[in-house]
A and B are shown apart, each in its own frame.
Chain A
């Protein structure tokens, strides 16, 4: 099923809120698709989900789980 814009925005907001995506200093609101895919990959790996870089059902379900409000420290470097 194709995701609606609201679902995509919710996912990006999540990735932003918890430190998987960093807003650029220039203030551009849009992220490149490859940046979002990379952030999703890191989130999936840190969450022990299948790493696809896609906003699949398992990833969206994990984003809805109750959690702590602090940012996550994960990126490709820390995961290594």
Chain B
């Protein structure tokens, strides 16, 4: 392998500016995403797609003429694509090629994209003709994988992918050696009563409520069916302490006791769960604050501010919650930044909304069950008849594939 340069960071953004006209956008996007995966699977690199604005790596298709690129393409065949070395980030494909996926016909977009990303990450051409980074396209391979020379090259630039070398995980210790013992699920909770374990504005703008072994979604028009937590996030226990999704990294972190789990969508990241050792165990709540792109962890009357992508100095934490969030109670149940940009805190049956100055707004606290869970307001006469585990709610659980599809969508 030959090394041409390197990025001074390992967490990169990318943007797909346009797609080939003769390949479906879904297939093309999947091919490009898989191309990134080849590299992130063997090196401690992460790639996050952005839909607008600047990105570290920008992928586009252009033909013989392009006002944005001095290296014009030559029509079908011959030159297929080119890319800039770090830290420039341009990756261009010849629009005139017959880009394909899953067939020996045409030119495989996934393999060529992976090759060009190799350049964008700092690799030059390899002299091994079977390597991805060989200059000549070797054709479609159904079971394509990186050549050892490709792996050696990228690891020479960024190191090997292993939990020990991940900067963002320094605050966490080694993988647990004792597997979690599966337990019988707790009774199905009633979303209209009792205290929440956690609330989270998750990927794709979905709001999740956690209680006991169950989770459900909340929308403006109602709430979704209850699912076992482990049915959605395989390997995750119930009775969580806190949950938080970061749009910055796409990571979902779940906290329980002295352990943390990380998922991307519904897939657990390798090496998790891990043990928390720089933040106190048994957290109360967690939220992502988009204004400074930090994760806040709460326990008792204190909070920690955590930068997921940088080494965080926790020596000055925990700090008093009241110093940053005015009017918020201690011993929270849950917290989240919601899609309206506001910060919400939950405790017991009540919740608090903060204004832009991070002060609790007038008129709060309000009732969680009525405003979030779409439950009828309870009169004193009805409260006593609605327990934490009711038969009526038990009857609403859905574990059919169609229901599962809707929540996984």
Residues of A near any B CB (own CB < 8 A) = 18, 46-48, 62, 64-74, 78-79
Interface-centre pick from B71, B73, B79 (highest chain A CB count, 10 A): B79
One digit per residue, 1 when the CB lies within 8 angstroms of any chain A CB and 0 when it does not, for chain B 80-124 equals 111100000000000001000000000100001001100100001
B71: A residues at CB distance < 8 A: 69
Q: Is the CB of A69 within 8 A of B82?
A: yes
Q: Which of B129-137, B167-175, B326-334 lines the interface with chain A? A: B129-137
Least CB distance from B76 to A in Å reads 9
Smallest CB–CB gap between A70 and chain B, Å? 6
Contacts A62-B136, A65-B136 hold; do A72 and B125 have CB atoms under 8 A apart? Answer: yes
Q: Does B2 contact A (CB under 8 A)?
A: yes
- Report the separation of the CA atoms of residues A64 and B80 in the bound assembly, to the nearest whole angstrom: 12
Let me know if A72 and B78 touch, CB within 8 A: no
Chain A residues closer than 8 Å to B129, beta-carbon distance: 47-48
Interface assignment of B342: CB less than 8 Å from any CB of chain A? no
Q: B residues engaging A (CB < 8 A)? A: 2, 71, 73, 77-83, 97, 107, 112, 115-116, 119, 124-125, 127, 129, 135-137
Q: Chain A interface secondary structure, helix, strand, loop or mixed?
A: loop
Enumerate chain A residues within 8 angstroms of B79, measured Cβ to Cβ: 66-69
Report the bound CA distance from A70 to B125 in whole Å.
8
Are B127 and A70 closer than 8 Å at their CB atoms?
no
- 30 A/B residue pairs, CB under 8 Å, sorted by A: A18-B135, A46-B127, A47-B129, A62-B136, A66-B77, A66-B78, A66-B80, A66-B107, A66-B136, A66-B137, A67-B78, A67-B80, A67-B136, A67-B137, A68-B79, A68-B81, A68-B112, A68-B116, A68-B125, A68-B135, A69-B71, A70-B82, A70-B124, A71-B125, A72-B135, A73-B125, A74-B127, A78-B2, A78-B127, A79-B127
A55 CB to nearest chain B CB (Å): 17
Which 5 residue pairs spanning A and B have beta carbons closest together? A69-B82, A69-B79, A66-B137, A67-B136, A73-B2
Name the B residues within 8 Å of A74 (CB-CB): 125, 127
Smallest distance from the beta carbon of A20 to chain B beta carbons, Å? 11
Tell whether, in the assembled complex, residue B124 and residue A68 are in contact, meaning their CB atoms are under 8 Å apart: no
Contacts of A71 in B (CB 8 A): 125
- B3's closest neighbor in chain A, by CB? A73
Contacts of A48 in B (CB 8 A): 129
Contacts of B136 in A (CB 8 A): 47, 62, 65-68
A54 to B135, CA, bound (A): 21
How far is it, in angstroms, between the C-alpha of A18 and the C-alpha of B78 when the chains are bound? 12
* Chain A residues, Cβ within 8 Å of B135: 18, 67-68, 70, 72
A73 neighbours in B (Cβ, 8 Å): 2, 124-125
Can you name 14 extra interface pairs (CB under 8 A) apart from A78-B127, A79-B127? A48-B129, A64-B77, A66-B77, A66-B79, A66-B137, A68-B80, A68-B82, A68-B116, A68-B119, A69-B79, A70-B119, A70-B124, A72-B135, A78-B2
A70 touching B107 in the complex, CB below 8 Å, given contacts A65-B137, A79-B127:
no
Interface pair A70/B83, CB less than 8 Å apart: yes
